Amino acid sequence: MSRLQPLQSQFQEAVLDGNSEFENSIVSTERVDAKQRIAIYAEAYRLRLIECLQENYAALHHLLGDEQFDGLCRAYIESHTPHHYSIRWYGDHLAEFLHDNAPYSQHPFLAELAEFEWKLMAAFDAADVPVAAAEDLAGVPADRWPGLRFELHPSLQRLQLAWNVVVLWKASEEKRDPETPAGTDAAVPWIIWRRDLRQRFRSLDQSEAWALDRAQQGEDFAALCEGLRRWKSPQEVATYAASLMKRWLNDGLITRIEF
């Protein structure tokens, strides 16, 4: 056992970094020498990570094609060693990698598509908790409305999209030819969440996005109404804020109402 741990460490270094010291512990044959035998394990390791990235980023793979996606995966693998015990979570920094590294950073729709796909999976894997119903809001006394606070579903994900990544993703889901990436003049707020074991997503206008972010931060109903006056008149702001609460309840975004 005393030699096993050093051998394991050398093997890992050989697979990850190409450390040649481990070759001294491998028997060469006429058909395959020590270097080739290590290379087989190193390539198998990378192929498994590439397979994982293909599963996690199917739409990105669909858009780039096999060759370009393979090149992207190998570049990412060289800079990001898995850090979680489950390979399911490998690729959690791919969107950042695409955003920060050329040539991918020259095509910002790639990072956005990666972020969208990752957050879809994060929403699916989030904790399952009961959601509040519209009746829960209807039962709140009028004098308690200003202090209302809302606990939002743990699957809720927020992002900003300046490209048609939802269209790109749908082409992959429907196994159609890749769509052409197209940008917008300004980024649009989106949410992703899970309900009834299905991921859901929709765009928001700026006022709803602002209110949802503040609600998630723990702001009460009175503070939401005050902030929404940026978009609504004093006469309509309370009604508008209440309509947002009801929509969030119908969508299954609210798990608890506190008052």
Domain presence at residue 214:
yes
Same domain, 130 and 70: no
* Contact between 188 and 202 (Cβ < 8 Å): no
Domain presence at residue 93:
no
Same domain, 120 and 67: no
Same domain, 14 and 120: no
Distances (CA, A) of 219 to 114, 142, 159, 184, 215: 31, 18, 20, 31, 5
Output Rg (C-alpha) for the chain, integer angstroms: 25
Task: Give the length of the chain.
Answer: 259
149-152 and 157-163: which strand pairing?
unpaired
Domain presence at residue 88:
no
Same domain, 34 and 113: no
- Domain total of the chain: 2
- Condensed to tens digits (0 to 9), the pLDDT of residues 39-84 reads 777 778 899 999 999 999 999 999 999 999 999 999 999 999 888 8
Same domain, 258 and 133: yes
Mean pLDDT of 168-181: 97
Domain presence at residue 102:
no
Same domain, 141 and 44: no
Mean pLDDT of 89-107: 97
Mean pLDDT of 112-130: 96
Distance CA 46, CA 190 (A): 34
Domain presence at residue 19:
yes
Distance CA 10, CA 167 (A): 46
**pLDDT over 50 at 247, yes or no:** yes
Cα 155 → chain centroid:
11
Residue 18 confidence (pLDDT): 60
Residue 56 confidence (pLDDT): 96
Same domain, 128 and 37: no
Residue 254 confidence (pLDDT): 97
Residue 177 is classified by DSSP as P
Q: Which domain holds residue 18?
A: 1-82
| Short-list 185, 52, 172, 60, CA closest to 113 | 60
Return the percent helix, strand and coil in the chain, to nearest 5: 60, 15, 30
**Amino acid making up residue 140:** V
Same domain, 117 and 78: no
Same domain, 130 and 245: yes
From 82, 97, 132, give the residue that closes a domain: 82
Share the mean pLDDT of the chain.
Answer: 91
Domain presence at residue 229:
yes
**pLDDT over 60 at 1, yes or no:** no
Residue 100 has φ and ψ, to the nearest 5°, of -100, -15
CATH number at residue 205: 3.90.930.50
**Amino acid making up residue 26:** I
Residue 21 confidence (pLDDT): 64
From 66, 82, 98, give the residue that closes a domain: 82
Same domain, 57 and 118: no
- What global pTM score does this model have? 0.88
Domain presence at residue 92:
no
Mean pLDDT of 20-38: 67
* Contact between 138 and 145 (Cβ < 8 Å): no
Domain presence at residue 94:
no
Residue 37's pLDDT band (boundaries 50, 70, 90)? confident
Mean pLDDT of 17-44: 68
| Short-list 148, 152, 130, 151, CA closest to 140 | 148
Going edge to edge, which strands form the sheet with 183-195? Answer: 157-163, 183-195, 198-203
Residue 9 confidence (pLDDT): 66
